[in-house]
Amino acid sequence: MNRSNGLYLIIGALVVAVVGLGAYVYREESKPQGVELRIGENGVSVEEN
């Protein structure tokens, strides 16, 4: 592997990391705020976001 291919590999990995982090942050920020109510086998659980 020559130097140019290694540079492309590093840049590609950085682009993938930035896109993944952006998607994670967007998903976390778009969650609804407030109270979450779950009804399941263990009964009722209430979580405040």
Domain enclosing residue 30, as ranges:
3-48
The domain total for the chain is 1
**Residue 34 region, left (φ>0) first, then alpha (ψ -120 to 50), else beta?**
left
What pLDDT is recorded for position 1? Answer: 60
Question: Which phi and psi (to 5°) does residue 31 adopt?
Answer: -65, 140
What pLDDT is recorded for position 16? Answer: 97
What pLDDT is recorded for position 41? Answer: 87
Higher pLDDT, 39 or 2: 39
For 15-37, the pLDDT digits (tens) are 999 999 999 999 988 877 788 88
